[in-house]
């Protein structure tokens, strides 16, 4: 993205740029030959993520809201939740009850980027009633002081939360609430305090918590990516800055940090190099930081298509079902360089748009004559981060019925291409590929090679969860790493109660709690030490349980099912 094109309108926009609907948010990589540093970008209200990325804010009136204007990698992608007897099967309960190990996650922080947390819930309090939360950044609350050098939201310290808990009206002091409940559930599964009356145990009940309550994505991004209006949607730039807050706060507290990511998206090349995945990878270069991600719940949703042509000029017809009225949706096409493909369209009534040759920075809108439907097609022959061919397709008020996309190969190498519809929750469930492929359905950011990625299985019967996303990555990296329980997992809910949850979010929460226990074990060695992120991952792999009738690693189970106590058994055996 060339920042020489940027300018600020003469009329002032009063609202804070990160939260103002009048500003566009852009993910900018500033380690470039131009030598442009964050200091030189002051006029764009920069917020530094790390040594590679900065978030810029420009007035929407300047037009940097589309992939054509700003580039695909620069536009924040949209994320949503990954949820739709487990402690015993994963070896966590055995580890917690082992008196010599004496592990609870003490001294370790677990960080969450989610819908917030019910900080008044007993699951997040010590026996004396004080909070186990060491820091809370509420991005939605603009009344207080933001953390670090950031310019939006309000940070609440452990002291302020304890003051609120001692008050007869806690929300008058710390007004943060989790209205959706997802963040409360995930944090509770990972490290909630025990409640024997509800038969509830968090995986790491002695750990501390860091929480980022994400603000909802801006409307211009929701409109551009055509998300469902009622869906909870979070934007990539806020997650990236949330990671920075977690890492910097943990460093200031001089404690190791496990980051739990229970959100995902299908937007991106699925090769592990999205901006958020790059930030998560680089965060683990800091000693004592570990990232656990959820593979997703996309295998059975019909949102992925894998195509194969035999030679140059060969054609594949991809059929797309639209079984309900919708304002629109997006579809992404990805193919490895140097292959090139043209894309054409046929509507349910037979109106045809001939395949459009791929061209650099091409963008065009097509209006159908006989139907109230429009299609916009954007090509990037060399997408910035992956180097792949990308086609971003936007269907606006598409007619109900069977759409056909004609994919024509123009430059042949291996003839493979992939297409993804939005993740479940961001698109009408009646929109799917007619002949979907359940593989390569891992969601971003779980594809980064450095992070620990878990699929989901049912601990009650040992079967893979039907919708558990499958590997590998588009470029063949072995993912997921292992499988964790995620069906009917007991969790806290706002206002003090308990319920159960199923899905990839629960699996990633259990893995995060187990990671905190293992990190604590490292700190309790005769010579205390932080494991490297790679060490932690491989310790988990050594403890996994594998079935005799399967070959490992595989697309569904990775290297096997998580068994925390199995790690110690393997070390004793060796």
Q: How far apart are CA 80 and CA 348, in angstroms?
A: 30
Catalytic: which of 89, 114, 118, 481?
114
Within 10 angstroms of residue 526's Cβ, the number of other Cβ atoms is 5
> CB-hemisphere CA count at 13 Å for 523?
20
Phi, psi torsion values for 257, nearest 5 degrees = -135, 130
Q: Which of 29, 23, 21 shows the shortest CA–CA distance to 59? A: 23
Structure tokens at 91: 């070896």
Check residue 45 and give left, alpha or beta (phi > 0: left; psi -120 to 50: alpha).
left
Round to the nearest angstrom and report the end-to-end CA distance of the chain.
53
Residue with tokens 């009646």: 430
Catalytic: which of 45, 121, 182, 270?
182
Catalytic: which of 207, 237, 468, 505?
505
Q: Is 505 a catalytic residue?
A: yes
Q: How far apart are CA 486 and CA 464, in angstroms?
A: 10
Beta bridge partners of 444: 265
Burial 124-148, CB ≥16 within 10 A → b, else e: bbeeeeebbbbbbbbbbbeeeebbe
Q: How far apart are CA 488 and CA 499, in angstroms?
A: 9
Q: Which of 105, 183, 134 shows the shortest CA–CA distance to 506? A: 183
Q: How far apart are CA 155 and CA 252, in angstroms?
A: 15
Q: Is 347 a catalytic residue?
A: no
Helix, coil or strand: residue 520: helix
For the chain, the C-alpha Rg in angstroms (whole number) is 24
List residues with catalytic annotation: 114, 182, 505
């Amino acid at each position: 993205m060339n920042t020489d094109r940027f300018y600020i309108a003469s009329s002032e926009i009063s609202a804070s740029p990160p939260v103002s609907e009048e500003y566009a948010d852009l993910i900018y990589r500033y380690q470039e030959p131009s030598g442009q540093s964050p200091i030189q970008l002051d006029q764009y209200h920069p917020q530094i993520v790390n040594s590679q990325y900065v978030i810029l804010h420009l007035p929407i009136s300047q037009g940097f809201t589309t992939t054509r204007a700003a580039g695909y990698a620069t536009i924040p992608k949209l994320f949503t939740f990954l949820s739709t007897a487990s402690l015993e099967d994963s070896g966590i309960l055995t580890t917690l009850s082992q008196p010599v190990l004496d592990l609870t996650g003490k001294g370790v922080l677990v960080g969450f980027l989610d819908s917030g947390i019910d900080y008044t819930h007993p699951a997040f309090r010590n026996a004396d009633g004080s909070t186990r939360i060491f820091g809370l950044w509420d991005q939605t609350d603009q009344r207080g002081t933001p953390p670090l050098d950031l310019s939006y939201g309000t940070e609440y310290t452990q002291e302020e939360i304890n003051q609120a808990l001692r008050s007869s009206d806690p929300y008058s002091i710390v007004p943060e609430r989790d209205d959706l409940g997802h963040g409360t559930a995930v944090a509770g599964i990972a490290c909630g305090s025990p409640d024997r009356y509800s038969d509830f145990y968090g995986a790491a009940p002695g750990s501390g918590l860091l929480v980022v309550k994400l603000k909802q994505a801006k409307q211009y991004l929701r409109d551009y990516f055509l998300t469902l209006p009622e869906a909870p949607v979070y934007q990539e730039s806020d997650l990236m800055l949330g990671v920075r807050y977690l890492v910097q706060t943990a460093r200031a507290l001089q404690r190791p940090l496990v980051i739990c990511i229970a959100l995902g998206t299908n937007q991106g090349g699925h090769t592990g190099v999205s901006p958020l995945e790059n930030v998560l990878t680089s965060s683990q270069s800091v000693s004592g930081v570990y990232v656990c991600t959820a593979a997703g719940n996309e295998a059975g949703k019909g949102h992925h298509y894998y195509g194969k042509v035999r030679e140059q000029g060969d054609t594949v017809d991809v059929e797309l079902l639209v079984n309900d009225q919708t304002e629109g949706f997006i579809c992404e096409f990805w193919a490895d360089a140097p292959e090139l493909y043209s894309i054409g369209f046929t509507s349910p009534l037979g109106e045809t748009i001939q395949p459009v040759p791929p061209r650099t920075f091409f963008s065009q809108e097509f209006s159908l004559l006989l139907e109230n439907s429009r299609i916009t097609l954007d090509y990037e022959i060399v997408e910035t981060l992956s180097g792949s061919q990308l086609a971003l397709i936007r269907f606006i008020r598409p007619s109900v019925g069977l759409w056909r996309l004609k994919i024509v190969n123009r430059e042949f190498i291996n003839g493979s291409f992939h297409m993804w519809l939005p993740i479940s929750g961001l698109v009408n469930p009646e929109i799917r590929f007619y002949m979907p492929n359940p593989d390569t359905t891992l969601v971003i950011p779980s594809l980064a090679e450095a992070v620990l990625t878990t699929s989901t299985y049912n601990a009650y019967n040992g079967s893979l969860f039907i919708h558990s996303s499958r590997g590998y990555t588009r470029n063949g990296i072995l993912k997921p790493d292992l499988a964790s329980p995620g069906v009917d997992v007991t969790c806290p809910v706002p206002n003090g109660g308990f319920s159960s949850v199923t899905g990839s979010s629960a699996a990633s929460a259990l893995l995060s709690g187990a990671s905190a226990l293992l990190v604590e074990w490292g700190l309790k060695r005769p010579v205390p030490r932080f494991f490297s992120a790679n060490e932690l991952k491989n310790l988990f792999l050594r403890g996994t349980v594998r079935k005799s009738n399967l070959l490992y690693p595989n697309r569904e189970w990775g290297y096997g099912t998580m068994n925390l106590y199995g790690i110690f058994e393997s070390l004793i055996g060796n």
